[in-house]
Structure 1
Amino acid sequence: MAVGQFTEQEKIAAVHLYLSDHYSYADISRKLGVDKRVIRLWVARFRRHGKGALAPRKGCLAFDPAFKMEVLNYHWKHRASYFETAVEFNLAAPSTVQKWEDQALLHDLRTLFPVKKGRPPMKKKPLEDMSTKEMQKELEELRMENAYFKKVESLSSRKAILTKEDRARAVDELRQEHPGFRLAFLLKLAGLKRSTFYAILQRRKQGDRNQELKEWISGIFHEHKGRYGYRRIQMELQSRFDRTVNHKKVLRLMQELQLSCQIRRKKYRSYKGPVGTKAPHLIQRKFRAKRPNAKWTTDITEFILFQKKFYLSPVLDMYNGEIVAYAIGNSPDKALVDTMLDRAFARHSKKKKLILHSDQGWQYQTPHYRRRLAKQKITQSMSRKGNCLDNAIIESFFGTFKSEFLRTEKWKSIPHFLRELKRYIHYYNHDRIKSRLKVSPVQYRLHHEPAII
């Protein structure tokens, strides 16, 4: 089937199949009869722009020259691939970027301007047939055209994307440098309406009304080392500065500042088949608790550091998402799980009922693990086989941990990494706002503890 024959719903369904972790790009491409690169592009556009990115475009979409230049500026400055650039600007095919680049490099930037359909324009008179006035006008337009493209190129070397404000600035600077340049022709080159141009100049005179807000957003983003998206930054603005801002405005300003979070990846799977006794699925995806230490969940995730594999085994309290305890080692063995249990049991009172949930990893099926839980009067619960959604709450933590910590930090040594890991867990528990709670996990627990008691 041709790519253009798929509906928006079919594309979204294909994306969800891949995100379920049960199907690869190749599996889905065989099912739909399209190249797997098409599926990969759908998934990337969905992750970057949401499901609206896959909506069909009505009619033949013509891109204006300014947008094409924005795309190429981003492609060149960030050294992005055609695929990455197409995803960033939600283009349907990476080959579009390649085509525009060929036009710009092999010919001239002016070839990016679309050729108008219909009756061809009248040919210019030969020089020998032009009057002196017509020749002067022709030379003036060539000078303006040359000056405009030089000005645009100088701006593009400093910014990844040229906005309408940038093009208006270029026109305004040219008018000041060359008072004889005609505004109408410069605006035609810039692809701007006269009203738009003057509106932008008026805003520049008044100053940026969002300047203070942008500084706050940038400060929060860098303070949290790029871990906060627009939703958490919105909540931080409310709690820290008592400033209520619509989340869409925060997102728009972050895009203007070119601030974006990291994307998550997949996790280590510990399932090795039936190696012991399975516990019933008691949680049933009810990831809420009325008090602390009523429902815990655990799992193991794998990552590579200093060319070695590491395994992190945390325990998470479903009441507030707090990391109760954790252990880290070079092997996902019983010793790792035992260390995690020793640290977690220090927070547990035998007088109160507690369920400890996990997947069907071999570590949690052993008699030794079950005996340790029974000794502490802890009830064991297990997810169903091959169903990661049954333990989605800790899967979410692993995704956050990897995108916010592993892929944004640099360490000099393993001891340095372990110190920073301890700091991050403390930050996650005490300082990082949790969307559901509107505050950090520890702040939520301390605020509600008197009411619980």
Structure 2
Amino acid sequence: MSKYTKQFKLGVVKRYLNKSTSFNAIGQHYCINGSIVRRWVKRYEHYGAEGLGKKFSHYNLEFRLSVLQHMWDQQLSYAETALVFDIRSPGCLGVWERSYHSGGIDALTPRTRGRPKNMSAPPTPKAPHAKEDESRSHEELLAEVAYLRMENAYLKKFKSLSSATSTDNTAQQAQVVQELRQQYPIAGLLKLAGLARSTFYYQQKALLAADKYADLKGRIRSIYARHKGRYGYRRITATIQKMGTLVNHKTVQRLMTSLGLKSLVRIKKYRSYKGDVGCAAPNILQRQFEAQEPNQKWVTDVTEFNVAREKLYLSPVLDLYNGEIIAYETSRRPVFEMVSNMLKKALVKLKPGEKPVLHSDQGWQYRMPAYQRLLGKNQVTQSMSRKGNCLDNAAMESFFAVLKSEYFYLDKFKSIDELQKGLAKYIHYYNYDRIKMKLKGLSPVQYRTQPLVT
């Protein structure tokens, strides 16, 4: 999927052509790089609006050679050559040129995309015979029988071992060879298993070696059990070091992972901020959490729930007029589609002439160009909290606190599906039945419809 639509590119180009300004200024206005604006303008000047749309092309060998030859003859850059031949990705010209210089025409020939339909099976060792049965000697037939018996014994032993253990394949093969070497020649077993002699003896040495971390693992288990799972690898490392044993925290972390030990407290919370992605909007709301009418001021955010080692994310929109949740969306991953679908549901409820302010934090979802374009299209003013200041969005944080204290922490959930169904019921209860003293003892929906009733 293209990051920018054809209509968006066309709008950027026309803005540049209509205003006497630089590429960088236009790019800064749309939160894109100035070089991208320059490329779009050049394509529009050469090919018109069609040059800004998608193009799916498969370039054959003759076309690639003609492009490279023209570029060399005219001493053009990759960008200039791509513009002449209407190639949307100038970087592929560099790939073609390097392939041609390194491997000639064969390297430049297009390869079939994807995985081949018929995958060739790996060659299996065959019994040592090259003649017809009638022409072979008695010794050759006995050798073939011995080989087949060895192969049968190896496959049976390997199958039973692989189903009973979870070690790696090489270790399993070496163990099978070790168990059968008293009955069959080791050279034939190694050839059948596809193992080098050095690999086989290395695996034997590794099996005989004692676990050098056995004592350390015992200490880790003891400390973890003594503190009832409250300690993570950092505190366990510090405790072991106080005992006089010098150990690296990465070693403790790796051993705890292999033992299946993990701290049971302070689970990492969801953080939506991922750096300076896109453009941040100013803090227009300024902690003014009172609204005089519906759909005047909205707030939104994303919160995380953890059930049975699975996560569920909730993205609601709250109206500051009455604290009503006017739209929400849930997802098992914090993807942009969750926020986008939530916003579309909320925009449907706007009446003609209503232009609310939508406040959020500086999460990456709210800095996406697609999100900001959707707000601008519907004349919604975007407002953002200051970086690292949750109090700027206190109204939304207050709703999350109420939701978790009244619903999530009071119940026990067996699955994410059960939590998801319960969230829908609670939000309906919160909007229609749960009264607020701040709203004169009415629920959010009752408070919003009260003027209509009276």
TM-score normalised according to structure 1 size: 0.40
TM-score normalised according to structure 2 size: 0.40
Q: Which protein has the larger Cα radius of gyration, Structure 1 or Structure 2? A: 2
* Higher RCO (CA < 8 A, seq sep 6+): 1
